[in-house]
A and B are shown apart, each in its own frame.
Chain A
Amino acid sequence: MKEVELLIIGGGPAGLCAALSAAESSAKVCIVERNKSLGGQLIKQTHMFFGSEKQYASIRGIDISGILLDKLNHYKDNVEILTETTVVGMYEDGVVTVLHKEDNYYKIKPKAVIVATGAFEKTLAFPNNDLPGIYGAGAVQTLMNVHGVKPGDRVLMVGAGNIGLIVSYQLQQAGVQVAAILDAAPKIGGYLVHASKIRRMGVPILTSHTVKEAIGKEFVEKAIVCQVDEKFQAIEGTEMEFDVDVICISVGLTPLNELLAMRGCQTKYVPQLSGFVPLRNENYETTIENVFTAGDATGVEEASSAMVEGYLSGLCAASKIGYTPGNFEERKKDYIKQLNDLRSGPVGKHILAGIEQIVI
C-alpha cells in the first residue's frame, strides 16, 4: 500500500492551490488527477478572468493554469503528481483506492485528504434530448478550445449564465453561428459585460424561454423553443423554430462529491450552492476528521474562489498533520479576507447564504 501524507483528489484550480499551500508549509503532497494533464477546467478557458490581482484577474484561464503549475514546480521535491488516475473509492479505514488508466488498481493510505473534485454539468429533460448534436457546454469547450474541433455550424445555446455567454462568444469567434441564447429565468444570469459583447454581435438573448423539443433523425436538425411563465411552465402558442445542428446545454453545475458521501461525510442539499455539499468547519474539514474539501465540490462558485479555498484548505490540512508554519494565522486571515472580498457582491450574498447552512 502506498503511503502519503496529504492526498489531494483533483488537479483543478482548488486542488492545485491546495497543493501549493500545503507544500509551502513543507508537507509532502500527492495530487491525483483523472485527466492527462493538470489544470481542470482552467485549460478550457481562453477568456480573461475577473476578480482581483491575487486571483489573476485579466489573465486567461489557461495561462493561470500554467502559472500555478510553474509555481508547483518550485516544490517538486514535495509534490507527487499522478495523472490519468481516478480515485474509485474511499473507505472507513482511511484507505483510498485508485485506478491508473484501466490496468493498474491499487491502494493509497494518506494521513489527510482534500477532496477537490469540482462539479458536474446539469442537464435538461426534453423530447429527443439524446440526439447527437446535443452537448453540455463543457464538451463544447473541450472540443473547441482544447482540441480545435468545431462542434457544428449553428448552435442554440440554452442558458445565459456566464458559461453560456462566454461559450457563445467563443463559438462566434471560431466562426460558428449562435442562433440564439435562451434562459428560462426572466433575466440574464451572467455578467452584463459578457451579455453586451454577444448582443453587439447580433445574437438574440431570449429570457423566460426554454427548449421544448429537439427534432432530427440521425442528429439535431431543429430546436423548438417556447416561452415560459414565472413557474417555468411552457406557454402554449409561443413556439418558435430554430434550424440548428447543435443544442448546447449550459444550465449550471452541481457539486461533485460522491467520494465524500461514500466516505460517510455528512452532506446536505443547499440550493444556493447548487446541490449536495459536505458540512464543513471554517478550515474546510468535513464531519470526518482529516477529510477536507475545497472548490466547487463544496459549492459551485468561480475559479477565483476555488483557488483561495484551495490555499486555505491546503494550509489547514497540512497544519492538521503537523506542518504549521510560523505565519499560519496571518495566512489564514488573508485567505479568509480574500474570500470575503470575492463574495462581497450580490452573487456573493447568495453564496454566503448557502455557506451559512453548511459551516459547523
Chain B
Amino acid sequence: MDENTIICRCSDVTLKQLRDLIQEGYTTYDEIKRITRIGMGPCQGKTCGQLVMREIANATGQNMQDIKFQTTRPPVVGVKLGLIAQEGRKNEE
C-alpha cells in the first residue's frame, strides 16, 4: 500500500520510495532530497518535511528533535531568472 501513499506532492515521492531509501542507509533529509528531489518543489519541503523526519526518526530510533531538516536557501518561491538578472544589472549601473 506504501506505493500509493504520497509523501512529497511536488515530486510525487511515495512512502515506499522513502522507506526503501532509509533502509539502504540514506538517513538524513539532505541525502534523501538529493536523490528524490523531496523538498525541492514548489512547497520547498513545507508539506513533506515533518513526514520525512518522522519516518527517519522511527526507522533509526531517534527523536524528532535530533533530526536535521534541510538547509533552507533562497528563493522561497520560483523567480524567473530574467528578473534576477535584471535586478543584478541595476547594481552594476
Contact = CB atoms under 8 A, between A and B. Distances in A.
Contacts of B79: 88, 99, 105
Contact of B75 (A88, A106, A268): A88
B72 A262 contact: yes
Contacts of B51: 123, 125
B80 to A, nearest CB: 7
B64 A269 contact: yes
Contacts of A335: none
B77 A122 contact: no
Contacts, number: 77
Contact of A103 (B6, B44, B64, B83): B83
A99 B86 CA distance: 13
B71 to A, nearest CB: 8
A125 B87 contact: no
Q: Which 6 A-B pairs have the closest CB atoms?
A: A89-B74, A105-B83, A88-B75, A261-B72, A127-B4, A130-B6
Contact of A275 (B9, B44, B50, B72): B50
Given A122-B50, A123-B47, A86 B76 contact: yes
Interface stretch (A14-22, A60-68, A251-259): A251-259
A50 interface: no
Secondary structure type dominating chain B contacts = loop
Contacts of A103: 80, 83
Nearest to A87: B76
13 contacts: A88-B77, A88-B79, A99-B83, A105-B80, A123-B47, A123-B48, A125-B7, A128-B5, A129-B5, A256-B46, A261-B69, A269-B64, A271-B65
B75 A258 contact: no
Interface string A275-292: 110000000000000000
Interface in A99-125: 99, 102-107, 120, 122-123, 125
B72 A258 contact: yes
Contacts of B75: 88-89, 97, 99
Contact of A105 (B4, B47, B86): B86
B6 to A, nearest CB: 4
A271 B87 CA distance: 40
A86 B64 contact: no
A5 interface: no
Contact of B50 (A87, A254, A270): A254
